[in-house]
């Protein structure tokens, strides 16, 4: 009986305690809490580094494509033939190093 009287007399304090506990648990955990924020921040960091790597690869491919499309660069074409097809001139000796 005393517990019932205590709860009725102190219901405002108990309500505040429960609300405070609820808010604190949702700030730390939960879908929009601190832990979720840190995970999303880490994912964003990884994606930005991947984006920078992909931009570098795209620029490199665009440069190689421009060398082969508009004005043919014979030096670059010679490098490609030697590396990819292992071709050379008649009087050259090709040694493959591993």
Say how far apart CA 38 and CA 98 lie, in whole Å: 45
Distance, in Å, from the CA atom of 96 to the CA atom of 98, rounded to the nearest integer, reads 7
How far apart are the C-alpha atoms of 63 and 74, rounded to whole Å?
15
Tell me the three state secondary structure of residue 10. coil
Taking 80 as the threshold, does the pLDDT of residue 13 lie above it? yes
pLDDT digits (tens, 9 = 90+) for 40-83: 999 999 999 999 999 999 999 998 888 777 777 788 878 887 77
Angle of the 34-69 helix axis to the 74-84 helix axis, nearest 10:
110
Q: How many residues does the chain have?
A: 98
Task: Note the pLDDT of residue 39.
Answer: 92
């Amino acid at each position: 009986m005393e517990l019932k009287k205590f709860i009725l007399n102190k219901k405002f304090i108990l309500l505040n305690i429960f609300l405070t506990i609820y808010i604190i648990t949702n700030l730390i955990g939960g879908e929009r809490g601190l832990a979720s924020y840190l995970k999303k921040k880490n994912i964003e960091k990884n994606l930005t580094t991947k984006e920078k790597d992909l931009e570098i690869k795209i620029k490199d491919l665009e440069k190689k494509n421009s060398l082969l499309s508009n004005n043919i660069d014979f030096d670059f074409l010679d490098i490609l033939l030697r590396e990819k097809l292992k071709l050379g001139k008649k009087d050259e000796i090709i040694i493959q190093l591993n």
